[in-house]
């Protein structure tokens, strides 16, 4: 068996039908193998876009692949892979490298930084596991070790393949099977006893559900849990859409002072809050404005459970949710839901409000939403959708448009929609051409407020956020897409309706007034 074909077959078996990247001389042998594999190569315009697209793909399919050349290519992916690590998205970075034969530590080869190991050491900081495949005898084991760590931790991995190793004979490789994590049954029993006692003593129990529910594929279990015990469910900022927002037990999205008022009342007023897969980041907590008494909190993460001051290791969501569903002593509750979505503005509503109101009316599960960072991210809290991919913790700009590429290829019968600000579009918007090339029928909505206005709302000064204006409609047309510009809610409604009736890549530029920001961003900035 040859190294590169084995690696690519492993990835295909895990669900990777596409690989995103840009070729280069050090990675040419791997691309030759890719051409003969069942995995389709997707060439982006810039390596950061490959990383973001692979991240979105991984969030939907459980594995994403980003490929680049040594140094100048793969080091260009550091930021999107850092985001994938922070937000638990299993993206495998495949890097070419100079030949092993004839390597000399003092040899100055193009794309080399300091030593031949510099790049791997950089990626060691943002991967679950990494390896340089420089030995045919150990290559298969190293591939499986990295893939196993990625699947177990839901974080990126890194494999470096020297040019003269891609077609190396690695012998007969055993079939790969994931290593089951060790779980502590005694800890599970004790934790469940404590959870049951707290639930049955409580008067106002509630669930706050976060992104790890989606990462671990436990959405259906969460719904069954809420229905079995009739519990109110709020979602966190990053966890938006992990629980159906039309469900009678849904009480809104919680993010501290930036929350929907009812969600904040129910979460912070609960005397027994079961927090499932929530990361207590600054964005999740509304810039640390959340007020949750520690004594009421039961926090369940992927790999640990924290109840008040008790910490249980080697158990997590995958064990606790089934145990809760099968528990015979926890009482069901009566719960009257008074949650109402924030009403739209009157007829003269802002264009930002109109964007999210109209998008929420798209009654079609085919729509997958991606957001960039800025008010397109904060405003999406008001969006009623089944699937939203956002960079809500790491908050890198540039995610939105490449993420639509990854989402559209991951779910071929979907209609992906990107929400991106003008600043984020200027970073990675050239991927409109990539969307056209590969036939992804995407809708790109550019919220054009003339700069990084979310920084102004959060206390920045004009010189910090003012950016050079582009003609975004002309850019779209130059890249082979269609484009239209809107200034009013009615114009946006018309443009969105027309976009829904057509195929192809369509850009809608929404020109906003300088003070037109979402209610969520206004609350985050302490202005509403």
Sort strands 388-389 and 18-21 into parallel, antiparallel or unpaired.
unpaired
Q: Are 352 and 489 in contact (CB under 8 A)?
A: no
Closest residue by Cα to residue 386 from 134, 525, 214: 214
**Residue set of the binding site:** 422, 449, 451
Beta bridge partners of 443: 417, 506
**436, HSE (Cβ side, Cα atoms, 13 Å):** 17
CA distance linking residue 440 with residue 404, whole number of Å = 8
Sort strands 91-97 and 64-68 into parallel, antiparallel or unpaired.
parallel
Q: Are 106 and 115 in contact (CB under 8 A)?
A: no
Beta carbons within 10 angstroms of residue 334's beta carbon: 5
Both ends of the chain: CA-CA distance in Å? 63
**508, HSE (Cβ side, Cα atoms, 13 Å):** 26
DSSP state of 27: G
Give the distance from CA 230 to its chain's centroid. Answer: 29
Closest residue by Cα to residue 206 from 271, 136, 146: 271
60 SS3 class: helix
CA distance linking residue 516 with residue 350, whole number of Å = 6
Q: Are 74 and 93 in contact (CB under 8 A)?
A: yes
43 SS3 class: strand
Gyration radius of the chain's alpha carbons: 24
CA distance linking residue 287 with residue 207, whole number of Å = 21
Q: Are 383 and 429 in contact (CB under 8 A)?
A: no
What are the φ and ψ backbone dihedral angles of 131, each rounded to 5 degrees? -160, 150
3 state SS for 139-178: HHHHHHHHHHHHHHHCCCEEEEEEHHHCCCECCCCCCCCC
259 SS3 class: coil
**Residue set of the binding site for Mg(2+):** 422, 449, 451
Beta bridge partners of 299: 275, 306
Beta carbons within 10 angstroms of residue 115's beta carbon: 10
Residue in the structure block whose two tokens are 């404590």: 194
């Amino acid at each position: 068996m040859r190294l590169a074909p084995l690696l690519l077959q492993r990835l295909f078996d895990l669900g990777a039908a596409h690989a995103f990247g840009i070729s280069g001389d050090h990675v040419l042998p791997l691309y030759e193998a890719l051409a003969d594999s069942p995995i389709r190569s997707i060439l982006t315009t810039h390596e950061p876009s490959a990383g973001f697209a692979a991240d979105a793909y991984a969030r939907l399919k459980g594995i994403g692949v980003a490929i680049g050349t040594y140094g100048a290519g793969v080091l260009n992916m550091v930021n999107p892979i850092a985001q994938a690590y922070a937000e638990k998205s299993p993206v495998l970075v495949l890097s070419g490298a100079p030949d092993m034969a004839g390597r000399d530590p003092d040899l100055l080869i193009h794309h080399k930084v300091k030593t031949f190991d510099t790049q791997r050491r950089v990626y060691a900081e943002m991967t679950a596991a990494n390896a340089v495949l420089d030995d045919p005898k150990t290559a298969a084991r190293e591939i499986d070790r990295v893939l196993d760590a990625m699947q177990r931790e839901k974080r990126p991995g890194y494999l470096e393949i020297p040019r003269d190793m891609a077609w190396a004979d690695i012998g007969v490789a055993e079939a790969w099977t994931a290593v089951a994590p060790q779980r502590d049954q005694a800890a599970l029993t004790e934790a469940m006893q404590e959870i049951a006692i707290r639930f049955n003593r409580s008067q106002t129990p509630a669930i706050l559900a976060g992104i790890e529910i989606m990462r671990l594929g436990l959405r259906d279990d969460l719904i069954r849990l809420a229905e079995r015990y009739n519990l109110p469910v709020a979602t966190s900022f990053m966890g938006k859409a992990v629980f159906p927002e039309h469900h009678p037990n849904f009480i809104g999205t919680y993010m501290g002072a930036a929350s929907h008022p009812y969600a904040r009342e129910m979460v912070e007023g609960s005397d027994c809050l079961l927090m499932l897969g929530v990361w207590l980041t600054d964005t999740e907590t509304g810039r640390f404005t959340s007020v949750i008494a520690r004594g009421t909190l039961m926090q369940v993460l992927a790999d640990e459970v924290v109840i008040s001051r008790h910490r249980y290791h080697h158990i997590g969501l995958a064990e606790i949710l089934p145990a809760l569903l099968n528990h015979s002593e926890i009482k069901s509750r009566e719960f009257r839901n008074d949650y109402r979505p924030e009403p739209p503005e009157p007829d003269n509503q802002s264009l930002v409000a109109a964007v999210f109101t109209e998008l929420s009316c798209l009654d079609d599960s085919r729509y997958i939403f991606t957001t960039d960072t800025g008010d397109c991210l904060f405003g999406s809290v008001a969006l009623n959708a089944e699937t939203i991919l956002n960079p809500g913790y790491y908050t890198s700009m540039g995610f939105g448009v490449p993420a639509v590429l990854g989402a559209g290829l991951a779910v071929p019968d979907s209609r992906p929609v990107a929400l991106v600000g003008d600043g984020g579009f200027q970073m990675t918007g050239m991927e409109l051409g990539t969307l056209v090339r590969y036939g992804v029928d995407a809708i790109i909505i550019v919220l054009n407020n003339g700069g990084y206005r979310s920084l102004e709302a959060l206390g920045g000064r004009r010189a910090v956020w003012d950016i050079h204006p582009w003609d975004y409609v002309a850019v779209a047309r130059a890249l082979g897409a269609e484009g239209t510009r809107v200034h009013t809610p009615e114009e946006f409604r018309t443009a969105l309706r027309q976009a829904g009736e057509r195929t192809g890549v369509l850009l809608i530029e929404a020109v906003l007034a300088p003070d037109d920001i979402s209610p969520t961003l206004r609350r985050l900035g302490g202005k509403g």
